[in-house]
Structure formats: structure tokens, C-alpha cells
Amino acid sequence: MRARRENEFYLPGVALPETIDLSDRWAEAAGASEVVLMAVPSRFARAAMTPVGSVLAADATLISVIKGVEEDSLKTMTAMLAEVAPAVKRLAVLSGPSFAAEVARGKPAAIVAAARDEAVSRGVQGLFASRTLRVYRSVDVDGVELAGAAKNVIAIAAGISDGLGLGSSARAALITRGLAELARLGLRAGARAETIYGLAGLGDLVLTCTGDLSRNRALGLRIGHGESVAGIAASTPSDHTGHPVAEGVSNARSIRRLAERMRVEMPIVAAVCRVLYEGAPANAMVEELLNRELKAEF
């Protein structure tokens, strides 16, 4: 990246501005920064941020763009960051319907900057808003983070459905009922309904379930086409394409455990877990969801 001024793995063809300095000395770089943005996959985030958290300035702003829940602790990313960087009080999250490959090429998108302190969310909003990126602000951190994590699991289900050739009607049903699951989880956790039905919830859910650049949907497609989960996992690290593993894989278990702890019914998430971790065939997920007890929609 230093030599070519390009991230050939994740953003090929996008030139890195000369004003960006690249460093592999994370603690040194972060300790001298006013704003630190964390974009490490959720399952590696604590290990990556622990040595960095202790050197951050107390008045630094620490922002997460990760859509995940920690598997062991079931903490959101900002809750985890509050532990590893206890001196930092300005914590925020950026989320919403956006593919990095599109945003980096200047295609328009709208996202949400959330922080419990509105002054912090306003500052992050101003920092990232640009001619092509519209940033809204929110104080509903839990709603933004939980919606962002859970929608990845629903997207795997949508990909499986598409891979099985079940059609647009089935996909629409999965998205709509998936949104209901996001709402149940978020509202039980104290989230605001408008967050679930806004950019961080519905917006990101639609994008991830339908977009061709969605890694979670792509994983589901491969499963629906007949590939085994073990086979996909075995092939991914050796293909050298640089494509990261879909966050929904690790978050399926996290979200299911969190739902069980909070006594929230999330049948789509549970069905995806059985496919990913219990060897259930892809069509079993569909049969399981269709054969549930009949009930009122609301």
C-alpha cells in the first residue's frame, strides 16, 4: 500500500491520497490522534484494540464502523471499546447502508453517526459528511449497533433463499420478517423504533439482503447453490482474493445467544445458525420457517 498507494485487496482501483500516511505501528499512530476509527472484524476487535486503547488521549474521539457483537461477552463494539479504552469518553459509531467500494468511488450514500452525547454525534457527523456522503446523527447507539449486527444474519438467509432459486417473493418475506426480528431485539434492548425503521436498520437490511456487493448475501448464495459451510470456510483463506469473511457467520451465534438471553424470538437467526453450525441443509431452513405455527402478523 505504501508503494502502490492502493489497497489492491479490498479497494482495487481506488487511489489513496498522498495526504494519507500509512503505518503498521498502531499504538504510536493512535496515541497521537484526535480521532481514531476502528474497522477491524468484530471477532478480532478486542485483541487488536487492547494495546491501542491504553495510549489514547482522554479527549480523543473513538469511532467504530464494525457491524458486530462480541461472541464471548455479547457486548456491542462501543461497549467493548469502553472497556479497552476506559479513559476515552467520546465514543461513537458509524453505520448504515453503504458499500465501501461504492463510497470510495464517490457514489452517493447516507449513513448515521451515533453517540450517546449529541455533541459527539454532531462532531462525527460534520467530520464525515461530504458532497456524496450524507450523514445523519442519532443518540441511539444500541439501536444502531444491534441493527447493524443482526441484519448480516438475515442477509445470509436471503442469500440462501436466492441460491435455492425461491424467487423475489420469498426474499421480500425474509427481509420483512427479518426486520420484525431486528425490531424485537432492538426494542427489548431499549432502542428506538425509528432507528430500526431508519437507515441503520431497514436501510442497511435491504442493501445487505439484495446488493451484489454484500459478502453475507454472497455466502448465503454459495450455501444455497449446494456448497457446504465447511467447504466455503476452507476455500476462503486460500483463494488470495483478500475478500474478508462475512461478519454474519460469527454474529449468527452471538445474536442467537443474545436473543435467548433477552427472551426474544428470532426464528430466522436460529434457522441460519442451524445451517451454519449444526449441519442443517439449506432447504431445511426454508421448511422450518414455513412450517412454524400460524399467527397474527403483529
Q: Grid cell 445458525 — which residue? A: 273
Q: Round to whole Å and give the CA distance between 193 and 133.
A: 24
Are 40 and 48 in contact by the 8 Å Cβ rule? The answer is yes
Q: How far is CA 183 from CA 15, 121, 147, 189, 266, in A?
A: 39, 23, 8, 10, 10
Q: Round to whole Å and give the CA distance between 51 and 85.
A: 9
Are 61 and 115 in contact by the 8 Å Cβ rule? The answer is no
CA dihedral 4, 6, 7, 11 (to 10 degrees): -150
CA angle (278, 283, 285) in 5-degree steps: 55
Q: Grid cell 442469500 — which residue? A: 159
Q: Round to whole Å and give the CA distance between 292 and 121.
A: 42
Q: Is position 107 annotated as part of the catalytic site?
A: no
3-state secondary structure of 76: strand
Q: Round to whole Å and give the CA distance between 151 and 197.
A: 12
CA angle (242, 100, 229) in 5-degree steps: 45
Q: For residue 27, what is the enclosing H or E element? A: helix 26-31
Q: Round to whole Å and give the CA distance between 94 and 36.
A: 12
Q: Round to whole Å and give the CA distance between 33 and 62.
A: 10
State the cell numbers at 236: 476462503
Q: Which of 67, 89, 151, 295 is catalytic?
A: 151
Residues paired with residue 94 on neighbouring β-strands, in sequence order = 113
Active site residues: 151
